[in-house]
């Protein structure tokens, strides 16, 4: 049983399911009469399809590999990460990219073992900040912005 129910398999299954849920959510959105590159969901669908394909390949490999991996050591930690990911994907459209990304990074980094408060704080602000700067201000491909300010 530990061959299938171990931490690696559960995380990969969660990644596949989150990607599948996000991909399925794109089908209810209609932006144009054609399914071309002009649709705002065209690029995200490609990325999500690749995400699901890679997660599925890694999941199959993890299930087929010998069970030298450890069983799930902390179910609550895994559940908190899953709930944080689901909440993050649902909040990002309403509250913008930056603020939910900072909160998600501040929650997920300690779960993955990075517990230095300085590193967590810097990473949680610097990475989403760099992505907002890059996409919104340099490329002109806006990420969702906060209702508080257009800057992030």
Residues 79, 130: one domain? yes
* Per-residue model confidence (pLDDT) at position 2: 53
Question: Among 38-47, 65-74, 107-116, where is mean pLDDT lowest?
Answer: 65-74
Q: What's the whole-number mean pLDDT along residues 42-64?
A: 85
Model pTM? Answer: 0.62
Residue 69 resides in a domain: no
Residues 54, 83: one domain? no
* Per-residue model confidence (pLDDT) at position 115: 87
pLDDT greater than 80 at residue 125: yes
**Of the residues 41, 64, 87, which one is the last residue of a structural domain?**
64
Mean pLDDT of the chain: 81
Contact, 152 vs 99, CB < 8 A? yes
* Per-residue model confidence (pLDDT) at position 37: 58
Range of 91's domain? 75-139
Q: What's the whole-number mean pLDDT along residues 116-124?
A: 94
Q: Which of 8-22, 61-75, 105-119, 133-147 has the highest mean pLDDT?
A: 105-119
Residue 49 resides in a domain: yes
* Per-residue model confidence (pLDDT) at position 100: 92
Residue 144 resides in a domain: no
Which residues neighbour 24 within 8 Å (Cβ) at sequence distance 6 or greater?
A: none
pLDDT greater than 70 at residue 94: yes
Number of structural domains in the chain: 2
Q: What's the whole-number mean pLDDT along residues 29-33?
A: 60
132 versus 1: which is more confidently predicted? Answer: 132
* Per-residue model confidence (pLDDT) at position 67: 63
Residue 151 resides in a domain: no
pLDDT greater than 60 at residue 1: no
Residues counted in the chain = 152
* Per-residue model confidence (pLDDT) at position 33: 56
pLDDT greater than 70 at residue 18: yes
Of 19, 85, 7, the closest CA to residue 53 belongs to 19
76-80 contact pairs (CB < 8 A, 24+): 77/111, 78/7, 78/10, 78/11, 78/14, 80/107, 80/111
């Amino acid at each position: 049983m530990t061959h299938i129910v171990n931490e690696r398999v559960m995380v990969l299954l969660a990644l596949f399911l989150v990607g599948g849920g996000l991909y399925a959510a794109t089908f209810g959105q209609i932006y144009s009469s054609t399914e071309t590159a002009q649709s705002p969901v065209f690029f995200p669908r490609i990325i999500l399809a690749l995400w699901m394909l890679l997660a599925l390949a890694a999941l199959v490999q993890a299930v087929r590999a010998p069970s030298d991996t450890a069983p799930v050591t902390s179910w609550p930690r895994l559940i908190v990460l899953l709930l944080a990911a689901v909440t993050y994907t649902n909040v990002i459209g309403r509250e913008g990219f930056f603020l939910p990304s900072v909160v998600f990074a501040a929650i997920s980094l300690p779960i993955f073992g990075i517990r230095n408060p300085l590193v967590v704080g810097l990473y949680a602000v610097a990475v989403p900040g760099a992505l907002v700067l890059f996409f919104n201000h340099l490329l002109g491909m806006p990420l969702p912005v906060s209702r508080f300010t257009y800057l992030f």
